[in-house]
Every structure is written in C-alpha cells, then in structure tokens.
Amino acid sequence: ATEIHLASRPVGLPSKDDFAIVRAEVREPGDGEVVVRNDYLSVDPYMRGRMNDVKSYIPPFQVGEVMDGGAVGTVVASRSDELAVGDTVLHEYGWREYAVGPAKRFRAVDTTRVPASSYLSVLGMPGQTAYFGLFDVAAMRPGDTVFVSGAAGAVGSLVGQFAKLRGARRVIGSAGSADKVAYLREELGFDEAFDYKDGPVSEQLAEAAPRGIDVYFDNVGGDHLEAALTSLRTFGRVAMCGAITQYNDTEPAPGPRNLFLAVTKRLSMRGFIVMDFAERAGEFTAEVSRWVRDDRVRVRETVTSGITSMPDAFLGLFSGDNLGKMLVRLDDS
Ligand code: NDP
C-alpha cells in the first residue's frame, strides 16, 4: 500500500519535493486492532504548521515518517469486538491507503443518512470549528452583522450559513475569486461578498458593511484582520481561528497597525483551537445534523483522486484551488 511521508521540512511555501510517496507493507492487526481501508483523506491548512519542527498544540510531523491527519475508511479486518468488518470509521491515520491500529482509535460513524465524507467536513472538524468559533468564541447573537474571511472554504462556508440559521442580520464573506464570490451570494445566501484580490479589503469591507460589523470570524489574518478592526462596532467580537496568509512566512508578520482600536472600541479578540470543545461535541452534532438532514446547509467538496494526488491537494489550499472542503478520495482497488 502507499503512504505519504514528510521528506523534508519546507521553508516558505512547501513544494512536492517535501513529500515522499512510499510503498509500505500493511502489517497484520494485533489483538484488539483493526485494519481500515481509507476512503477519504483530509488535507487541512493546520498541517502546514506540523511540517515545521516547533512545539505547538499538536506535535510536528517527523521527517522520513508517514504523516497523519483526518480520514474516513472502511474496516476490512478486525481483531476487536468493538468494530466489525464493513464499519465506516473516522480516525486520524490519514495520508495513507491502509491504517492499522487499536480499535479505540477509530470511531464508527453512521452513513445511512449522510455521505461518509461529511465527517471530514460539516459533521466533523471544520463544522465544529465553525460552530464553536461563531457561537461560543465570538458569541454571535441574533441580529448581529457577521463578517467571515476564507468564506468559500471548509470552515468559512459553514460559518456564513450557521450565522444565518441562528438569526444573523447580515452575513458578509470574502474569498479569492469571482466564482467563489458568486457562490457565496447565489448558493450560500450571503448578503454581501467580495473578492479580496479586487482591491483593498478595508475599502471593500466598508462598502459591504457601511454600518459596521459585530463579529469577525478570522481565517486569514493580515489585511483582513486590520480591516475588520476598523469595521467592528463597539463591543465587537473576533473569533481568531486561523491566519493562512502567514503559514508560509519565514519571518513574523507585522501586527495590525490599528490594534489600539481594540481598546477604544472595547473589542474582544479570542483565539481558540477546535479541540478545546471536544467535550461539547454532542451539542454540535445535535443541532448541525438536524440542519443537514433538513437540507438547510449546503456542503461542497473539492475532491482529488488517488493517494498520489494528496500533496497537490494540500498545496492547493494555499492557492485557493478548493471550493468548500478539500478532500482526497481513494478508490476501492
Ligand atoms: P479552507 O477550506 O478555507 O482552505 C484554505 C483557503 O484559504 C483557500 O481555499 C484559499 O481561498 C484561502 N487562502 C489561501 N491563501 C490565502 C491568502 N494568502 N489570503 C487569503 N486567503 C487565502 O481551509 P479550512 O476551512 O480548513 O481552514 C480555514 C482556516 O481555519 C485556516 O486558517 C485554518 O488554519 C483554520 N482552522 C483553525 C482551526 C482551529 O481550531 N483554530 C480548525 C480548523 C481550521 P481563497 O480562494 O479565498 O484565497
């Protein structure tokens, strides 16, 4: 079977040479273990941080070893009473065709009403990030005007839709192409959307939200954060979720020049990691799976095919190749 190793630690934007495509034996499962054939593999921006040798909230990938990350697969052999052959499972042994490990590291998921890939998008980590970031970290309330960057991506597209479903007055999104902007307006129900490549974010945001914003959900940092600080109203709130503009920087990026506005406008800016909310997953699942069942949330995926496409799929996150969640699908063979 094939798996992807970290070949070298990138400096700046990673290249395909930083990954190695490696053939490896699928080992026999031990007592209490299962073998899973992966069906969908997730690529996520946070993986860029794990390619660096730095201490963070999650350990770095090791050079010369298989990488890992979210995946959904099918149990093909089981030496555990907890999982049976044929079960669909969610787990963290991604970046490989076959995963072998203790059954307790795999969670069975119900695919009778939703596709398996949902557990890597709306019903999984990106969904939880959007949900807790918006409703808990940014404490969005009905009537708020909400701005989200990276709005056509996995997390951002859900933030905008969740905001509407919980009674936001206006939802504004930014993304990096005309097609994405049209998608936000026409398919996802955003009230306003703009292409951040069309002109200064501060001007475009001021035009889209002449009366200011109450909540900013930050996926990108940089100019967007600075523009949002200017547009936020008194007692506005920022969920600091990500800063993809900076993940490939080789030197620290300058901070927003207008940070003092946080004082004068009494802003709350709170960073978070989705894992902080692991114990509250039940609340999320109850509400969001109802929205999904009732067809009140639209979910898009950009899917590449085959394990060898995985490095390109990952790199594509940094050039905006994806609409919705970026995934890699493996075929049955
Ligand atoms: P996305 O699906 O949004 O994919 C990344 C997107 O980022 C691309 O599609 C691209 O869209 C945009 N992008 C890339 N480079 C830039 C740039 N220089 N400026 C502006 N936009 C850029 O990824 P996710 O939804 O998975 O993640 C979104 C953010 O949320 C990331 O910052 C991620 O790290 C963060 N995150 C944080 C979590 C947490 O626990 N705090 C958990 C999960 C995600 P475009 O075409 O619009 O440029």
Reported as a single tens digit per residue, the pLDDT across 245-297 is 999 999 999 999 999 999 999 999 999 999 999 999 999 999 999 999 999 99
What span, in angstroms and rounded, lies between the C-alpha atoms of 252 and 260? 20
AA letter at 29: P
* Domain-embedded: residue 176: yes
Please check whether residue 256 is in contact with residue 225, taking contact to mean a CB–CB distance below 8 angstroms.
Answer: yes
pLDDT reported for residue 333: 47
* Residue range of the domain that includes 263: 125-276
Of 148, 241, 258, which is closest to residue 192 (Cα–Cα)?
148
Q: Residues 152, 216: one domain?
A: yes
| 181 in contact with ligand 1, CB cutoff 6 A | no
- Ligand 1 pocket, residue 127 CB under 6 Å: no
Same domain, 85 and 168: no
**283 found inside a domain:** no
What's the confidence (pLDDT) of residue 207?
98
Tell whether pTM > 0.95.
yes
Alpha-carbon distance of 203 to 188, in angstroms, equals 23
Separation between Cα atoms, residue 245 and residue 222, nearest integer Å? 6
133 with 219, same domain?
yes
Q: Domain for residue 20, yes or no?
A: yes
Q: 43: CA distance to ligand 1 center in Å?
A: 11
* Same domain? 52 vs 98: yes
Shared domain check, 270 and 129: yes
In this structure, the answer to whether residues 184 and 234 fall within a common structural domain is yes
Using 50 as the pLDDT threshold, list the residues of the chain that sit under it.
333
Q: How many CA atoms lie within 13 A of 9 on its CB side?
A: 11
* Atom 31 of ligand 1: nearest residue by CA position: 242
Beta strands 213-218 and 145-148: pairing type? parallel
ipTM over 0.95: yes
Query: Is residue 281 in some structural domain?
Result: no
In this structure, the residue with its CA closest to atom 19 of ligand 1 is 245
Residue 293 lies in a domain: no
Q: Within this chain, do residues 247 and 196 fall inside the same structural domain, yes or no?
A: yes
Query: What's the 159 CA to ligand 1 centre distance in angstroms?
Result: 12
Q: Please, which residues have CB within 8 angstroms of residue 115's CB and are 6 or more apart in sequence?
A: none
Confirm whether 107 is domain-assigned. yes
Cα gap 205→193, rounded to integer Å: 9
**Of 17, 36, 40, whose CA–CA distance to 27 is shortest?**
36
Q: Any idea what the CATH number is for the domain that residue 176 is in?
A: 3.40.50.720
Q: Could you tell me the distance, in angstroms and rounded to a whole number, from the CA of residue 187 to the centre of ligand 1?
A: 20
Three-state DSSP class for residue 78: strand
**Whether residues 271 and 167 fall in one domain:** yes
Alpha helices in 8-50 (DSSP H): 46-50
pLDDT value, residue 257: 97
Res 331: pLDDT: 85
Domain shared by 220 and 112, yes or no = no
For atom 16 of ligand 1, the residue with the nearest CA is 245
In a domain, 141, yes or no: yes
Q: Is the dihedral of CA 41, 46, 52, 58 positive or negative?
A: negative
| Segment holding 200, helix H or strand E | none
Q: How many domains would you assign to the chain?
A: 2
